[in-house]
């Protein structure tokens, strides 16, 4: 006489081994065809556009890095990035390395390791009074070193006058000191 536990185990095993109805999708019929069409159009249109955008974003990264670091040859790096787009990315590693390196001998030839845009940006900040005393003095020394190495580029002719009239930023006292202490 079979025990109830044994018969229960046999029934459970039979149910586990019995073939069940399998479905490949939660959709069926026309809904499945419609969803397949939508997915195929997304893949045909948006995936290539996304791949092109990603390819472009990766290839302009050296240009952005050079601008952020005020690389003196950032215009050449920009051209190399554009050429890399044309040549399928073969030149991209060179642009990436170039953006992270300091040019050898550039400081000796031009007196600086910064792009002209750096000096224009810092001169604007000095003119607005945004530089503190240490920053302003450092900027004056950088500009003087560049001017001593050779002629100042045309774009930077007015920087010397701006630096002559620039005053360091005045630090405002803490809020507690300005209230007078009386409440």
Which position has the token pair 């990766």? 58
Report pTM: 0.60
**Of 132, 109, 111, nearest to 122 (Cα)?**
132
User: Tens digit of pLDDT for each residue in 102-128?
Assistant: 887 777 777 778 888 888 888 888 888
Number of domain units in the chain: 2
Same domain, 94 and 69: yes
Domain of residue 87, residue span: 47-101
For residue 2, being part of any structural domain is answered with no
Crossing angle for the helix pair 61-68 and 92-100, to the nearest 10 degrees: 10
For residue 176, being part of any structural domain is answered with no
User: Tens digit of pLDDT for each residue in 39-86?
Assistant: 999 999 999 999 999 988 888 899 999 999 989 899 999 999 999 888
């Amino acid at each position: 006489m079979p025990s109830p536990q044994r018969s229960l185990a046999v029934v459970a095993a039979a149910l586990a081994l019995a073939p069940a109805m399998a479905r490949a999708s939660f959709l069926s019929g026309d809904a499945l065809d419609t969803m397949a069409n939508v997915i195929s159009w997304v893949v045909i249109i948006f995936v290539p556009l996304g791949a092109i955008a990603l390819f472009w974003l990766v290839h302009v990264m050296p240009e952005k890095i050079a601008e952020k670091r005020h690389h003196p040859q950032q215009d050449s790096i920009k051209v190399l990035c554009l050429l890399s787009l044309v040549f399928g990315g073969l030149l991209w590693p060179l642009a990436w390395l170039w953006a992270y390196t300091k040019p050898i001998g550039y400081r000796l030839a031009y007196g600086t390791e910064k792009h002209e845009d750096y000096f224009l940006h810092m001169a604007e900040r000095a003119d607005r009074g945004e530089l503190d005393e240490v920053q302003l003095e450092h900027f004056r020394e950088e500009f003087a070193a560049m001017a001593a190495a050779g002629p100042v580029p045309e774009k930077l002719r007015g920087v010397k006058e701006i630096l002559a009239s620039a005053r360091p930023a005045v630090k405002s006292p803490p809020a507690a000191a300005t209230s007078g202490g009386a409440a």
